[in-house]
Every structure is written in C-alpha cells, then in structure tokens.
Amino acid sequence: MSVTAAQGFEAAGVAAGLKHSGDRDVALVVNRGPSQAAAAVFTSNRAVANPIIWSRQVIGDGTVSAIILNSGGANCFTGHEGFQATHATAEAVAEAVGVSSGDVLVCSTGLIGEQLPLDKLRQGVTDAAAALSADGGDAAAHAILTTDTHAKTSVRTGEGYTVGGMAKGAGMLAPGLATMLVVITTDAQLAASALDSALRNATRVTFDRLDSDGCMSTNDQVTLLASGASGAAPDEAAFTAVLTEVCRDLAEQLQSDAEGASHDIAITVTGAATEDDAVEVGRAVARNNLFKAAVFGNDPNWGRVLAAIGTTSAPFDPYAVDVSMNGVRVCHAGGPDQPRELVDLTPRACSVLIELHAGDAEATILTNDLTHDYVHENSAYSS
Amino acid sequence: MSVTAAQGFEAAGVAAGLKHSGDRDVALVVNRGPSQAAAAVFTSNRAVANPIIWSRQVIGDGTVSAIILNSGGANCFTGHEGFQATHATAEAVAEAVGVSSGDVLVCSTGLIGEQLPLDKLRQGVTDAAAALSADGGDAAAHAILTTDTHAKTSVRTGEGYTVGGMAKGAGMLAPGLATMLVVITTDAQLAASALDSALRNATRVTFDRLDSDGCMSTNDQVTLLASGASGAAPDEAAFTAVLTEVCRDLAEQLQSDAEGASHDIAITVTGAATEDDAVEVGRAVARNNLFKAAVFGNDPNWGRVLAAIGTTSAPFDPYAVDVSMNGVRVCHAGGPDQPRELVDLTPRACSVLIELHAGDAEATILTNDLTHDYVHENSAYSS
C-alpha cells in the first residue's frame, strides 16, 4: 500500500515512455487533506538537479498538495531548459489535479546531463492524474525504480494513525542526506514544523547512515506528507518513533537491493568519544574499497578495518581497539586475537563491531561489499 | 640500477622465505658515505606499522647508514612482539654491516596482523649483507615487490650528481603521503635539512597526488639517502627539480601497475580558488567509484564527475564548470556540450580536465579505474 496506506492520499504509477524498457516511470501522489502539511530533506551535494532547486522553494511554506516523480532521467546539469521542464511538470500536475503549482514537489531520477522529453512527461502526468486512486501506492512505488530489482514499501501504525512510504535506491547510496527518492505519507495531524523536526531526526539515524558506495547523488529527496485525515494528533516524540521505524525499514530495503551487492554489512562503532566520531569511523570503514572487496571474498581482513580507522580524526588509541566480525573477535587491543578462520562470512548479513575504548558514544553505518556485479552494473551502461 | 646508480651505495635483494612464492623478499641498501645524510616522509595514517614507529625515531637526527626492507608481511598491529621484531631486524643489520642500529631504517610491506618469522628474517639480513654490491640495485628493487607485476626504478642526473630510486606500490595507493615504499639515493652533497625540504616538496606534487583507490596504507615510507660521493653540492632548488623528476617517474610507474587497473587517469583541475581546492576536487573525482567504474566501461559519464565535485567544499558554481574527457568538452557551463559519443576512452591513458572558473590555481591527481580485476585481486586472497 505504501503511500496510500494512510488515509487522505491517492497515487498512481504509469508508463510514459521515459524508460526504454517501457516500464512505469511516472508516479504521482496527491494529498486530499484535510491538511496539506509537509516536510522534506534534500541531498547535501552542492551540485543539485533541477527538481531539487524547484522543490526547495515549494517546501518553504510547509504546504504540499502533490508530488510528481519520474524515473528515466535525472534532469540534472540540463541548464535553463531543464529547469523549465521541471516547472512545466509542476504546472501540468497543478492543472490536472486542481492545485497550485507552487504546492507541487518534483523529483527525478536517472541519467545526469540529458534533457527529459517534455511531451512524454506531460502525457504521463495526464495519465497519472486520471489513474489516481486510494489503491495506487504500489503502482507508484514501481514507477520510481531505476536499477532497483523490486519496489520498496513500508507501513507502520501509531495510535490512531498510519505512516507508509515508498523508496527507490540501488546505486549512488551515500549520506548527507539521502541519495534516494523517498515519499512517506501519514494521516496524522501535525504541523509542518513538527513534520520537519520529526523527519530530520528520523533520517539522521536511518538514511543518513546508509552508505552503500560512498557516492552522493544530485537528486535525492525524502518527502513527508501529512493529511490529518485520521484525526489523530500524536505528540512529536511518539510520531518520530513510528516514522523512524518506517525510515529504517526502507533504508534496510535499499541496502539489501544495492547494486551488485552480495553482503549487507552493518558496521557498529562503540566506545567513541562522540556520536559524530562513531559515524566518521563507521563511514571510513564503509568507504574503504579494500575492506569492501575483502568482504565480497569472504575474507575477514581486519587489518583493512584498522587501516581505515587510522584515516579518521576520531580520538582513539590504535593499540586499544577491538574488532569483531560476525561475532568473532579477530583483533584485541590492536593485535591479533581469535584466528580469522573462525569467521564465517558466507551469509549475506555481515556484522563488524569496532570497539574504540575512547568514550561512550556509538553509531551503526550500513554498507555493502564491492563486487564484480557492482563494477559491471556501473560500467556496462550509463546510469 | 635504481638505488645503486648513485656513487657510494651498495644494495642487495635476497629470498628469505617470507613470501610463499620463494621470490626475493628482503632488500638492503647501505650508504658507504662519505656522508650519511637522510630524510624520510611517512604515511599520515594514524594506525601505523611497527617499522614506521621505529623509522620515525631513526630519522630524527638526519643520519642513516642503511635501510632494510621486507615484503611478505607488514608487521602492523602485531603488538610488542612485532616491535621487537623490527628492533631485532635493525640490530641484525647493524651487526652485519658494521653500523649503529640507531642509524638503520626498517620498512615492511604485506599482510597486516601477522607476525614476521624472525629467524627467516635474520637469515635474510645475513644473506643480504653478504650479497651487497654496487650492482645490487635491481635485485633490491625486485625484493620489495608485493602484488606489483614488475620492478619500478628511475634514474636522473643533475650537474655532476645522480639521483636514482626504487618503488613498490600496486594496491592501497592513496595520499598523504605515500602508500608505497620508495628508496631514493643520491651522491650529491646535501645536509639532512636540505634533503628533508627537497623531499617534502617533491613528494607533495608527486606521490601525494597519486590516489589509485582512496585507501591509505599503514606502512608507507619514502626515504632519501645522500652519500656525497660525487663531491657535487647542488643548490636545493636544482636538486629538488631533479628529485621531483625521479619521484614523478616512479609515481607514474606505480599508477600504471596499480592492481587490476585498465586505465591510467589524470584528473587536472584548473581555475580553482586555491591549489588545495584543486587537489580536493581532483581527489573527490578520483575516489568516486561510479566515475571509476564508468571509465572502466569506456563511458564518458561526466555527470558522475560533477556529482563528485559537488561533495567538496571548494568554491565553484556548478553552472560555470566545464569538463573535457580525452580532449572533448562534454560539459560546458554545467550543461551538455559535445556529444559523449565523440569521446574515445579505449586508450589506457585517460585525461579529465575540469575547469572550475573560480580562480587561477590548478593541480593534477593521478588515479585508476575500478575494474573486475581490482575486485578480484582484493577479494580472492588476503593481502
């Protein structure tokens, strides 16, 4: 049900011919209210796509009536003509569903540097508006996919309200924020400022800690729309907890469908001086190609873990660090501990525990291994 | 001739059984003077191997009589026992060649986290000392190799003096400094302080700008030994120029033999506000797996270049950037320019020119593509 699990929303996913495959490539989600509060977080990449430039303006007043998303083209580095295409898309949605274009968010995903075919996109908007329904969440979730192998959706319920979402990811998964397109809807009654705060708190510990390949996209956006249709008005903390569950579930689905990956790696750093240090250490390991290739080869090469930690600015003593892989402590106090042969890395799930012994803070970073399939998917064709 | 091209040096390379292959794995270089001035730069990784801990102390007084290098084991994260092995190695060299152990540098390379077999290593020192000769440079250059496919040596001459060197690299090539073992000798007469300054200036624009895979090693060291045997006493600027040529030649040899690489990529950033900005931008592109995989696939995916630039803190306007690949400007002012089909990426050499239009500074970063062979070499066995 994804984005239509919550009351007050309609969605559709149609094929507009933007993808060569002929698959669905335009998704539309409309908030029928009574409230139209919204929040969004955007990629922190300084080179951003035209839809991001547009959507940053739209979200300013905290009111969003609809969001249109296309796969098959990122509309990034496409200059003035590209921005006009984004604007025209919002105008087409506004006309088709009877809202103001200034309340229409736009998201695009696909190849950078090519213009979108505006005629096809406009027809897609018309078709999507005609197909809108309260059962359209799954079709929308399919329409935003690129190299994903399946749709990602998640639904949780709070006290008297529902939170549901859809996500696309697959490649270029890195932090700060998102590197993905995500739309989450709720029928809870919350003001835009509360939604913004809840969304930032939820993404900080979920999507922001997914770092599949260290590459940060130009188009990423996580959007939260609230209709208020349930009549429930939860307090912000309770709502944030439910929202965080949806975000974590979607983040884990993105990880497990990352391009070419054969392992889902959770790197937990404990005993850090600060949470930021824990994140920095986890991320340094997550981005180390030698470590990632070793995991692909089922090789518990803890030396590469320590070499990666050594590139960070986090306080630690290299001769105090412990490292465990899949429950076997292979490094104690910066030296060899249990034999590496005891570590079984054949399961897809791989856990790395790094104990810095430098404080009380911790964080977990999710990443993937570096595989032949990753190289193939990112070299054999443009994406 | 490598390290024995300059007068006053003897070298040897022998097989001590540290490598399973039975290849040469212990190299010894002795400076017979009359001068024994030296300088060295070390990995900036905070997790360093025992030989680095030792060598940092030895270099303190600017006097070095000999340097012993082993492949077949990094002696990193091997605790107190590992440090004792380094110390014992230096003692063995001191005894065998009649110098003070406090003037013996030690370098190791290989797998992290395993103890070196000290008996074999001591025998290797004895054998190497017995084999020392003024023709031993090539044998030494072979003995330091790990996954390198061939030895790297370089010789240049200044006015009345010679500078020659050997290097090993292959994997874990990243900056700040070195991520490699390099020994350079000269028969020029220069004080240790002048050698230090010349070496830092030379490595800053050569080895420090080689970033094959973004991974920084724990064992890297570039050493410069001066015998003064030629009697020539060049001024520091002239010497630095010759030294920089040797360093650049060796850096390019390291790049072209990087593990699994099929392209040697030179990323030149011009129009940066500062040289540091140019380096940061070049490095961000060099470390972007999606860009590197695209080059492997002969795909001039300039969108991935711009997405990588956007992750930096360098001043630039995304809509002012030009990008050329192999001489074809595919991106102008942040938008599409020449058709990407015009770019021929089939040659091994690949040039990327990024014009930021934000200032007058520039820098070139050398890197490699991300290939199936890279993944294979770093996943199929421990290294």
CA distance A220 to A110: 11
What is the CB neighbour count within 10 angstroms for residue B358?
20
| Amino acid in position A29 | V
The SS3 call for residue B135 is coil
Residue positions forming the annotated binding site of A for substrate: 146, 168, 179, 259, 378, 383
B316 CA: distance to closest CA in chain A (Å):
9
Cα-Cα-Cα-Cα torsion A48, A112, B301, A117, nearest 10 degrees, comes to -160
Residue A177 has pLDDT above 50, yes or no: no
| Domain architecture of chain B: domains with CATH | 2-256 (3.60.70.12), 264-377 (3.10.20.340)
pLDDT score at B140: 96
pLDDT digits (tens, 9 = 90+) for A318-369: 889 999 999 999 999 988 999 999 999 999 999 999 999 999 999 999 999 9
By CB atoms closer than 10 A (0-12, 13-18, 19+), residue B61 is exposed
Q: Do B112 and A218 touch (CB under 8 A)?
A: no
Averaged over successive runs of 10 residues, the pLDDT of chain B (383 residues) comes to: 94 95 95 95 86 95 96 90 96 97 94 91 98 97 89 94 88 49 94 96 89 78 94 97 95 87 95 96 91 93 90 91 96 92 96 97 92 85 62
Average confidence score pLDDT of chain A:
91
Angle between helices A302-309 and A289-296 (to 10 degrees): 160
What value of ipTM does the predicted structure carry? 0.79
| Residues 6 or more apart whose Cβ sits within 8 Å of residue A186 | A6, A161, A162, A163, A164, A224, A225, A226, A227, A239, A243
CA distance A259 to A266: 17
Question: Is residue A303 within 8 Å of residue B111, measured between CB atoms?
Answer: yes
Question: Is residue A265 within 8 Å of residue A369, measured between CB atoms?
Answer: yes
CB < 8 Å to A381, chain B: 297, 299
CA distance A265 to A370: 11
pLDDT digits (tens, 9 = 90+) for A227-251: 999 999 999 999 999 999 999 999 8
Per the structure block, which two tokens stand in for B123? 């025998």
Give the helix/strand (H/E) hosting A329: strand A328-332
What is the CB neighbour count within 10 angstroms for residue A89?
28
How many interchain CB pairs under 8 A, A with B?
A: 200
Residue of B nearest to A293 (CA): B379
Measured at the alpha carbon of residue A369, what is the angle toward residues A364 and A374, in degrees to the nearest 5? 135
pLDDT band at A180 (very low <50, low <70, confident <90, very high): confident
Question: Is residue A184 within 8 Å of residue A163, measured between CB atoms?
Answer: yes
Stretch A277-282: mean pLDDT: 95
CA distances for B221 relative to A303, B47, B105, B246, B248, angstroms: 18, 14, 10, 16, 16
Q: Do A78 and B294 touch (CB under 8 A)?
A: no
A residues 319..358 contacting B (CB < 8 A): 319, 331, 333-336
CB < 8 Å to A336, chain B: 77-78, 113-115
B residues 229..268 contacting A (CB < 8 A): none
Residue A108 has pLDDT above 70, yes or no: yes
Q: Shortest CB distance from B375 goes to which of A112, A114, A293?
A: A293
pLDDT score at B175: 43
The SS3 call for residue B151 is coil
Cα-Cα-Cα-Cα torsion A58, A60, A66, A69, nearest 10 degrees, comes to 60
Measured at the alpha carbon of residue A213, what is the angle toward residues A210 and A214, in degrees to the nearest 5? 80
Q: Do B336 and A309 touch (CB under 8 A)?
A: no
B residues 57..86 contacting A (CB < 8 A): 74, 76-79, 82
Q: Shortest CB distance from A335 goes to which of B78, B309, B376?
A: B78
Q: How does B144-168 read in b/e, with b if 16+ C-beta sit within 10 Å?
A: bbbbbeebbbbbbebeebbbbbbbb
Per the structure block, which two tokens stand in for B55? 């060598």
A103 CA: distance to closest CA in chain B (Å):
26
Residue of B nearest to A47 (CA): B310
Residue positions forming the annotated binding site of B: 146, 168, 179, 259, 378, 383
Pairing of strands A26-31, B361-368: unpaired
pLDDT score at A375: 86
pLDDT score at B178: 40
Catalytic residue among B4, B43, B109, B179: B179
Residue of A nearest to B179 (CA): A307
Residue of A nearest to B313 (CA): A46
A318 CA: distance to closest CA in chain B (Å):
6
- Is B376 in the A-facing interface, judged by CB distances under 8 Å? yes
Q: Which of A378, A381, A382 to mutate to test the interface with B (most CBs of B within 10 A)?
A: A378
CA distance B127 to B121: 10
Residue of B88, B206, B195, B184 whose CA lies nearest to B140: B184
Give the helix/strand (H/E) hosting A267: strand A264-272
Q: Do A379 and B296 touch (CB under 8 A)?
A: yes
Q: Which of B45, B262, B280, B289 to mutate to test the interface with A (most CBs of A within 10 A)?
A: B289
pLDDT score at A174: 45
A273 CA: distance to closest CA in chain B (Å):
17
| Residues 6 or more apart whose Cβ sits within 8 Å of residue A43 | A52, A176, A177, A178, A179, A216, A217, A218, A219, A220, A221
Residue of B263, B271, B282, B275 whose CA lies nearest to B371: B263
Residue of A nearest to B303 (CA): A112
C-alpha neighbours within 13 Å on the C-beta side of residue A194 = 17
* End-to-end CA gap in chain A: 28
Annotated catalytic residues of A are 179
CB < 8 Å to A378, chain B: 289-290, 293-294, 297, 370
pLDDT score at A113: 86
pLDDT digits (tens, 9 = 90+) for A31-65: 999 999 999 998 888 888 999 999 999 999 999 99
Q: Shortest CB distance from A288 goes to which of B82, B114, B215?
A: B215
Per the structure block, which two tokens stand in for A46? 């300084």
Question: Is residue B361 within 8 Å of residue B277, measured between CB atoms?
Answer: yes
Can you point out the beta strands (E) in B150-306?
152-157, 162-168, 181-186, 221-226, 264-272
pLDDT band at A382 (very low <50, low <70, confident <90, very high): low
CB < 8 Å to A356, chain B: none
Cα-Cα-Cα-Cα torsion A208, A212, A215, A220, nearest 10 degrees, comes to -50
pLDDT band at A381 (very low <50, low <70, confident <90, very high): low
Cα-Cα-Cα-Cα torsion B52, B53, B55, B58, nearest 10 degrees, comes to 170
Q: Do A376 and B376 touch (CB under 8 A)?
A: no
pLDDT score at B174: 45
The SS3 call for residue B131 is helix
A residues 295..324 contacting B (CB < 8 A): 296-297, 299, 301-304, 306-312, 318-319
| Amino acid in position B141 | A
A27 CA: distance to closest CA in chain B (Å):
24
Q: How does A216-246 read in b/e, with b if 16+ C-beta sit within 10 Å?
A: bbbbbbbbbbbbbbbebebebeebbebbbbb
What is the CB neighbour count within 10 angstroms for residue B233?
14
Question: Is residue A247 within 8 Å of residue A167, measured between CB atoms?
Answer: no
- Is B47 in the A-facing interface, judged by CB distances under 8 Å? yes
pLDDT band at A175 (very low <50, low <70, confident <90, very high): very low
Q: Do B331 and A77 touch (CB under 8 A)?
A: yes
- Is A113 in the B-facing interface, judged by CB distances under 8 Å? yes
CA distance A145 to A110: 9
Question: Is residue A52 within 8 Å of residue A219, measured between CB atoms?
Answer: yes
Pairing of strands B162-168, B104-108: unpaired
Residue of A160, A164, A168, A207 whose CA lies nearest to A184: A164
Residue of B310, B291, B307 whose CA lies nearest to B299: B291
Q: What percent of chain A clears pLDDT 90, i.e. is strictly above it?
A: 72
pLDDT score at B286: 92
Question: Is residue B234 within 8 Å of residue B191, measured between CB atoms?
Answer: no
CA distance A98 to A210: 37
Question: Is residue A68 within 8 Å of residue A106, measured between CB atoms?
Answer: yes
Q: Shortest CB distance from A375 goes to which of B45, B79, B296?
A: B296
Phi and psi at A73, nearest 5°, equal: 170, 130
- Is A375 in the B-facing interface, judged by CB distances under 8 Å? yes
B8 CA: distance to closest CA in chain A (Å):
37
**Scanning the structure block, which residue is given the tokens 């739309």?**
A183
B221 CA: distance to closest CA in chain A (Å):
15
